[in-house]
Amino acid sequence: MASNFRQNLLSLLCFWTLIPLFLKQSMAVDTLKAGQSINDTQFIVSATQKFELGFFTEPKSSNFKYLGIWYKEIPDVVVWVANRDKPIINSSATLNINGDGNLVLVNQTGEAFWFSNSSRSVKNAIAQLLDTGNFVIRDSTSESENYVWQSFDYPFDTLLPGMKLGWDLKTGLNRKLISRRSQMDLSSGKLSYGINTDGLPQLMVREGNKTMFRGWPWFGDGFRRSRSQEANFVYNTSLEISFSYSNDPDNEPSRVVLDSSGFVVHYVWSKRDENWHSSYTFEGSGCNSYELCGNFGLCSSVLVASCGCLDGFERKPNQNISDGCVRKDPETCRKGEGFRKISNVKWPDSSGEFVKIKLGTQNCEKECLNNCSCLAYGALKIPGIGASCVNWFGKLIDIRFNRDAGTGEDLFVRVAASELESSNKKSGVAVVVAMVIISILIFLALISWFIIRRVRRSARGILDKGAVMIEALIEENELEMPIGLIEGATDHFSISNKIGEGGFGPVYKVSHQKMK
Ligand SMILES: *[C@@H]1O[C@H](CO)[C@@H](O)[C@H](O)[C@H]1NC(C)=O
Ligand SMILES: *[C@@H]1O[C@H](CO)[C@@H](O)[C@H](O)[C@H]1NC(C)=O
Ligand SMILES: *[C@@H]1O[C@H](CO)[C@@H](O)[C@H](O)[C@H]1NC(C)=O
Ligand SMILES: *[C@@H]1O[C@H](CO)[C@@H](O)[C@H](O)[C@H]1NC(C)=O
Ligand SMILES: *[C@@H]1O[C@H](CO)[C@@H](O)[C@H](O)[C@H]1NC(C)=O
Ligand SMILES: *[C@@H]1O[C@H](CO)[C@@H](O)[C@H](O)[C@H]1NC(C)=O
Ligand SMILES: *[C@@H]1O[C@H](CO)[C@@H](O)[C@H](O)[C@H]1NC(C)=O
Ligand SMILES: *[C@@H]1O[C@H](CO)[C@@H](O)[C@H](O)[C@H]1NC(C)=O
């Protein structure tokens, strides 16, 4: 009896003493102190186990080793990679934090493959993986967010909530997403997604120097018409010009990815069906396609994108649509010319090569009229500065007309005196033409809708990845999708437009070919 009791007591004691041991082994730490390191079988896990940092191979069966961050509970989604362009091959790998507080990634023979390039060093540096997915180097004696270095400043192809795209004007750092070379190849591809701050800030997807897609220009405190609560635009010319987004209220993991084919996709994790849902995709098709309508062209979209010309301009016969339009009457320099107002548009490309911004000016019309090479103007208010003018020169490119009132800006385009005179006469005709076109479009829309519904139902199984993403998008839209953040980030599409944008992407392609 007594020995039995002793045995029980012993095993109980054993059990209790074993628990801390057990915990120690399974619970990884979220920090790396100076002099410490992890090898390729060890991990750092953020405080509430959201993210994990360590080594992985890609492709999985290869011996190409990368240091990366991924979701701890969700398999196969890498959100950050340190050495994407310089994998460690055929060797073990170690991540150290050295004496001056820099992270260094070395192979077996001590060759450095990557290092954190912090501009200053601190005495008691520690590296910590935060629950936001940010891997930071900070002074261990201070909890402040004044990080010496952070992985959020060196993005991979993924934007996480709280992470910023764009310029830190103090350090001169410009953060952008860089696509993978291909789905299976982590190395830097040609596509980037970031903010062009030269001129008015605009989010852009670019392939090298070539603009694929341009977001809505913003100024002051952000998009004036953005209805999105989650999107955060900062425009402070002494501090930063940036875009970021905060997590959805239900706090499920979410991420925005620039994929290797140029899609910008916002994924939200659904606990319910353990899957990623894409809540908005952007691809450079339809009216989003930067060069679709050419110079002085105007793109509008009712299921299919169509290119028109700005008032006072026309398309030359036998010209490609992307060659744009030309002036009907070139007499626009001190010959009684004036401006035609076009409402509800996405302003033309407002990069520095195309615009001059005149701060603190009231009379934008006079400003533009005074310079014969000024093609158009727009007015805006900048907080702290007030009424200001934007003047366009050289080209008016990538203008989009929005059907919904109040979803665009006013643009004033310079036209010859003859155009101003004829405007009243023509408007009657224009209304009739517009009504005929609209009824045809509605008819086509209904037909396409039925056809597409049928095709969609029958094609569900065989759609490619892109199409499946779009499918998910439509389904979410039908379920009353919240106004997504990327809508704010990219363009102010109405919900109906959004269905048009994403859902009928494949249709655009066909119609483009027809149009050409
Ligand atoms: C990694 O480090 C742990 C703890 O120091 C050690 O047990 C393990 O053998 C190491 N693994 C390799 C591959 O070096
Ligand atoms: C890695 O190892 C494989 C097979 O052992 C070999 O074919 C390859 O050349 C090695 N690569 C490098 C970069 O050493
Ligand atoms: C470490 O990297 C260097 C440079 O790439 C290479 O010469 C060396 O062979 C590598 N060491 C091992 C053990 O693979
Ligand atoms: C480190 O920073 C310096 C100056 O900011 C830069 O010239 C250098 O290319 C950077 N090196 C790496 C590996 O990022
Ligand atoms: C991009 O522009 C720069 C400067 O205008 C030029 O030097 C470079 O060759 C261009 N690159 C491509 C890929 O067009
Ligand atoms: C820009 O940032 C600086 C420094 O934080 C601040 O003093 C200033 O008020 C900001 N300007 C605007 C327009 O928000
Ligand atoms: C239109 O563009 C296509 C391809 O870009 C080209 O082959 C064709 O010659 C162009 N047509 C005209 C009239 O310029
Ligand atoms: C008109 O504007 C252009 C572009 O900003 C500038 O180069 C030119 O000097 C201006 N002309 C006059 C007369 O102000």
Question: What are the start-end ranges of the E strands in 221-263?
Answer: 231-236, 240-245, 254-258
Residue 176 has pLDDT above 80, yes or no: yes
Residues 265 and 300 in one domain: no
Domain enclosing residue 511, as ranges: 466-516
Residues 145 and 170 in one domain: no
Report how far residue 498's alpha carbon sits from residue 9's, in angstroms, rounded to the nearest whole number.
68
Residue 258 has pLDDT above 70, yes or no: yes
Decide whether any atom of ligand 7 lies within 6 Å of the 316 Cβ.
no
CATH code assigned at 146: 2.90.10.10
Atom of ligand 5 at shortest range from CA of 208: 13
By CB atoms closer than 10 A (0-12, 13-18, 19+), residue 217 is buried
Q: What are phi and psi of 114, to 5 degrees?
A: -165, 150
Task: Compute the average pLDDT of residues 484-501.
Answer: 31
Residues 43 and 146 in one domain: yes
Out of 110-114, 136-140, 147-151, 447-451, which region has the weakest mean confidence (pLDDT)? 447-451
- Distance between Cα 57 and ligand 2 center (Å): 15
pLDDT on residue 370? 94
State how far Cα 380 lies from the chain centre: 24
Rounded to the nearest 10 degrees, the angle between the axes of helix 505-515 and helix 465-478 is: 110
Mean pLDDT of the chain: 78
Cα angle, residue 220 at apex, residues 292 and 195 outer, rounded to 5° = 45
By CB atoms closer than 10 A (0-12, 13-18, 19+), residue 446 is exposed
Residues 142 and 114 in one domain: yes
Residue nearest to ligand 5 atom 6, measured at CA: 209
Residue nearest to ligand 2 atom 4, measured at CA: 90
pLDDT digits (tens, 9 = 90+) for 441-452: 766 777 676 666
Residues 144 and 30 in one domain: yes
Query: Residue 37 CA: which ligand is closest?
Result: 1
Residues 302 and 403 in one domain: yes
Report how far residue 21's alpha carbon sits from residue 321's, in angstroms, rounded to the nearest whole number.
71
Atom of ligand 7 at shortest range from CA of 516: 1
Going by C-alpha positions, the residue among 445, 467, 415 that lies closest to residue 306 is 445
Residue nearest to ligand 3 atom 8, measured at CA: 109
Residue nearest to ligand 7 atom 13, measured at CA: 319
Residue nearest to ligand 7 atom 7, measured at CA: 320
- β 64-71/51-57 pair status: antiparallel
Task: Compute the average pLDDT of residues 417-421.
Answer: 86
Question: Which residues have C-beta within 8 Å of that of residue 132, sequence separation ≥ 6?
Answer: 51, 152, 160, 161, 162, 163
Decide whether any atom of ligand 3 lies within 6 Å of the 3 Cβ.
no
Amino acid identity, position 496: S
Residues 32 and 140 in one domain: yes
Residue at which a domain ends, from 114, 133, 152: 152
pLDDT on residue 452? 60
Amino acid identity, position 146: N
Residues 141 and 187 in one domain: no
Residue nearest to ligand 7 atom 2, measured at CA: 320
Question: What are the start-end ranges of the E strands in 149-230?
Answer: 149-150, 158-159, 165-168, 173-175, 177-182, 185-196, 202-207, 210-214
Report how far residue 257's alpha carbon sits from residue 242's, in angstroms, rounded to the nearest whole number.
17
Decide whether any atom of ligand 3 lies within 6 Å of the 124 Cβ.
no
263 or 342, higher pLDDT = 342
pLDDT digits (tens, 9 = 90+) for 47-76: 999 999 999 999 889 999 999 999 999 999
- Distance between Cα 240 and ligand 6 center (Å): 9
Number of Cβ within 10 Å of residue 50's Cβ equals 17
Residues 300 and 370 in one domain: yes
Q: Answer for the pair 184, 58: CB distance below 8 angstroms, yes or no.
A: yes
Query: Residue 25 CA: which ligand is closest?
Result: 1
193 or 35, higher pLDDT = 193
